[in-house]
């Protein structure tokens, strides 16, 4: 058995790709001449990783609040995501005032979200600046490997 690449071993368990994808991803990393750290960041900023993180957080919320309905859990998830951006903003995140406005009007935002897919789309759209998906980008290539 080939040893696991360094980028794989430092990923949180919920972001580790399926074992059958590791070799392909490592070949891509080598082809792109990316250091392990850069590849790790690229993988963690793919739509696949964002969705995976959301699913894990939603499962955690379900465990914490077993009687809560899905919409309440989605609201809590979105609120936590906005709060995270407020306290540890990335360069592409909306300005603080916009984040606070969204937090204050979360009920209005949630009225337009009627499915988990819409919730995911809303968050991916909010993060689109940080999730580089233009064709040819490392993130797009990684995402493609992870979703096929």
Identify the domain containing residue 34 by its residue range. Answer: 6-10+17-46+132-147
Question: Does 72 lie in the same domain as 40?
Answer: no
41-90: pLDDT as tens digits: 899 889 999 999 999 999 999 999 999 999 999 999 999 999 999 998 88
In angstroms, rounded to a whole number, what is the distance separating the alpha carbons of residues 76 and 92?
Answer: 22
Question: Does 143 lie in the same domain as 104?
Answer: no
- Kindly report the pTM of this predicted structure: 0.85
Asked if the model's pLDDT at residue 132 lies above 80, the reply is no
Query: How many Cβ atoms are within 10 Å of 132's Cβ, its own excluded?
Result: 16
Confidence grade of residue 2 (pLDDT, cut at 50, 70, 90):
low
């Amino acid at each position: 058995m080939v040893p696991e690449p360094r980028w794989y071993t430092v990923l949180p368990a919920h972001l580790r790709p399926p074992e059958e994808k590791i070799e392909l991803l490592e070949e891509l990393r080598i082809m792109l001449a990316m250091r392990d750290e850069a590849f790790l960041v690229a993988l963690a900023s793919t739509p696949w990783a964002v969705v995976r993180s959301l699913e894990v957080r939603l499962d955690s919320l379900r465990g914490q609040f077993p009687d809560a309905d899905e919409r309440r859990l989605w609201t809590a998830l979105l609120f936590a995501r906005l709060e995270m951006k407020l306290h540890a903003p990335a360069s592409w995140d909306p300005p603080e005032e916009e984040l606070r406005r969204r937090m204050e009007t979360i009920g209005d935002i949630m009225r337009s979200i009627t499915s988990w897919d819409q919730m995911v789309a809303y968050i991916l759209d909010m993060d689109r600046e940080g999730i580089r998906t233009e064709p040819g980008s490392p993130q797009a290539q990684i995402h493609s490997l992870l979703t096929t």
